[in-house]
Structure 1
């Protein structure tokens, strides 16, 4: 009985993967608007496909990722594990408190609090990417490893003495498969047009939604509207109350979907046709 059930699940996973692959091959990118800035269309691969939602819980995908797919898992706080088709693993805002169970190939970190970085990363990590530099100079990161490119856009943060630490945070951009993913880190302010141009078009954005330690809710909504990502994933909330406060406000703007598992496989073709907030349970 157990063997039969496993076979059914495997067949189902293969069928779902075939559907996703066919959808990806048939998706035609929308042409850029006449007034679109070149930076907004060339910074990331391709434009957003207009397809109906086709999210696949990672637990149902037993086969390897297709080359246009990405798997991401919410580990907790501001840490996600991203996995590419060539099985490059990336952990965001890597720290000493919340870590994935597997050793990442690449980790990104930010400087706002110790829950967003570590001074003692595992020596087996190939690339340790700190989103800040010494003497408040901007970090400049552009790393390619196998089928993944990681780059950053520096932003400022509030310092402990009430001032400003220039370039203490980085918005990290991950180009994986046909997708561009932005992790806003510990964002403290809205974005300038120059920063938006550097970020470029994004398909998925991981957004801090605490509304106090990072940017306030209205400011964060302004950022999300500026980025125009079709898929927005909340992070950096400390209680059900904090998350519900964000969702109550965000439902005035976009649809909200609450997932049952912390992992999702997504491709360009499976992105929602209109912006959506996807809530993943933290581990």
Structure 2
């Protein structure tokens, strides 16, 4: 599977099929039009729902993708609404994208995704879990590869923190910084954090 990172929470995965997750608009840098088989928007906010950028079908209606309802805040969605976690297995690898998860500890979610191989997790705080809360999820989920997302960099206009605090807190993990795209394939061993340089 080839993973491309376009900043914020937007990834394009290409393998057996292709999917664009959480395409955005108006966040300080531009997302190019991306042709994929599927798209998925974790929630209906402008920085996650620019589905027009992908010409594909909505993964929301395809059963090979598991959608798990969570909340965008600590008050059962009263502040920012619901959030859908996306989980799917392809090429023998299970991928989970947490979207804008805002719950500091959702034990039911952890149980459902603890066998994830590749975890995309927000770390920038303010609108989502912060870096300390993110690390607690990382410690309880058995992912082999953790890819931080939803953090501020470059020309981003979204009021969130950068990735630095998360990396400092996670200093006991193996941390690799790589250019996007990367190739993920079996076997996956150990547990490491991969910080991707966005293609924008």
The TM-score bracket by the shorter chain reads 0.7 to 0.9
**Unaligned 5+ residue runs, structure 2?**
155-160
Whether the aligned pair in 2 keeps the contact of 1:89 and 1:104 (CA below 8 Å) is yes
Given candidates 235, 248, 251, the residue that maps to 2:168 is 248
* 1:1-283 equivalent positions in 2, closer than 5 A: 70-84=1-15, 86=16, 88-97=17-26, 99=31, 101-111=33-43, 113-118=45-50, 121=52, 124-127=55-58, 129=60, 143-144=62-63, 149-158=64-73, 163-164=78-79, 168-239=82-153, 242-251=162-171, 253-259=172-178, 261-269=179-187, 271=188, 273-283=189-199
Structure 2 CA distance for aligned equivalents of residues 182 and 192 of structure 1: 15
Q: Which structure shows the higher helix fraction?
A: 1
Q: How many aligned positions are there?
A: 188
Whether the aligned pair in 2 keeps the contact of 1:78 and 1:208 (CA below 8 Å) is yes
Structure 1 CA distance for aligned equivalents of residues 194 and 53 of structure 2: 31
Structure 2 CA distance for aligned equivalents of residues 266 and 199 of structure 1: 19
Structure 2 CA distance for aligned equivalents of residues 114 and 151 of structure 1: 23
Deviation at 1:200, TM superposition (A): 4.5
Structure 1 CA distance for aligned equivalents of residues 124 and 107 of structure 2: 24
Deviation at 1:278, TM superposition (A): 0.5
Instruction: Give the TM-score normalised by structure 1.
Output: 0.60
Distance verdict in 2 for CA 1:164–1:274, change over 3 Å:
same
Structure 2 CA distance for aligned equivalents of residues 188 and 123 of structure 1: 26
* 1:51-73 residue CA offsets vs partner (Å, 9 max, x unmatched): xxxxxxxxxxxxxxxxxxx1111
SS in 2 for 1:158: coil
Deviation at 1:216, TM superposition (A): 1.9
Instruction: Give the TM-score normalised by structure 2.
Output: 0.82
Q: Which runs of 4+ in 1 moved over 6 A?
A: none
Q: CA RMSD in A?
A: 2.5
SS in 2 for 1:153: strand
SS in 2 for 1:201: coil
**Unaligned 5+ residue runs, structure 1?**
1-69, 130-140
* 1:28-56 residue CA offsets vs partner (Å, 9 max, x unmatched): xxxxxxxxxxxxxxxxxxxxxxxxxxxxx
Whether the aligned pair in 2 keeps the contact of 1:112 and 1:157 (CA below 8 Å) is no
Whether the aligned pair in 2 keeps the contact of 1:78 and 1:116 (CA below 8 Å) is yes
Structure 2 CA distance for aligned equivalents of residues 268 and 92 of structure 1: 22
